[in-house]
A and B are shown apart, each in its own frame.
Chain A
Amino acid sequence: DVKVTQSSRYLVKRTGEKVFLECVQDMDHENMFWYRQDPGLGLRLIYFSYDVKMKEKGDIPEGYSVSREKKERFSLILESASTNQTSMYLCASSFRGGGLAVPSQYFGPGTRLTVT
């Protein structure tokens, strides 16, 4: 079974703190994603990475950065946390796919971040 793990289930941080959220997958997937999930808004893509050291902005990258130094690990960084970044953060991974293959995304359990 594919396993995607996230470093924390719950996190409470203060405004202005630097926050690191880590995600690890064990299936040698090329693609990794960070989403945030808010009530009434669905999942929104923050960043995704299609290879080591490669990244692409999603729909809401402002206030976030990412790091992918190893294939299995994708980190989301909040440089200076703000209260509007209080949310559920979900990491996902998938194979690259290609041709007719459409890779399914596998999600981690999520990190509920509260910024006070």
Chain B
Amino acid sequence: GESVGLHLPTLSVQEGDNSIINCAYSNSASDYFIWYKQESGKGPQFIIDIRSNMDKRQGQRVTVLLNKTVKHLSLQIAATQPGDSAVYFCATRRSGTYKYIFGTGTRLKVLA
């Protein structure tokens, strides 16, 4: 079946450094990808998305890269701050449906 996996369950970075969180997906028919941030005790919060016809998209301090050849998605956070500490997970949409497949999440810890 379809799957979405994240490469590391936990990532620790120094405050001010850049963070890179990775995600791999299995379904080549996925056409839309989202990164979510989930802080403790809260629901997932949309960060950034990208369509399959793009390979890069930038937001405020965040960049998403999509490599469809190897079915890999990454989230880059520039100048990581303590407020970035959270669980990050990616989701892919099954083409033509409302259904999403979610990864299990990487916990980002920002070290002072």
Task: Give the dominant DSSP class at A's interface.
Answer: strand
- A19, chain B: closest CB distance, angstroms: 19
Task: Give the dominant DSSP class at B's interface.
Answer: strand
Inter-chain contacts of A105 with B (CB < 8 A)? 34, 46, 100
Query: Given A41-B104, A104-B34, A107-B45 in contact, is the A58-B99 Cβ separation under 8 Å?
Result: yes
26 A-B residue pairs with CB within 8 Å: A4-B43, A9-B41, A35-B102, A41-B104, A42-B4, A43-B44, A43-B89, A43-B102, A45-B99, A45-B100, A48-B99, A50-B98, A90-B43, A92-B43, A102-B32, A102-B51, A102-B93, A105-B34, A107-B36, A107-B43, A107-B44, A107-B45, A109-B41, A109-B42, A109-B43, A110-B41
User: What size tier do the contact residues of chain A reach?
Assistant: 20 to 34
- Chain B residues near A (Cβ < 8 Å): 4, 31-32, 34, 36, 41-46, 49, 51, 89, 91, 93, 98-105
- Chain A residues near B (Cβ < 8 Å): 4, 9, 31, 33, 35, 40-45, 48, 50, 58, 90, 92, 94, 102, 104-110
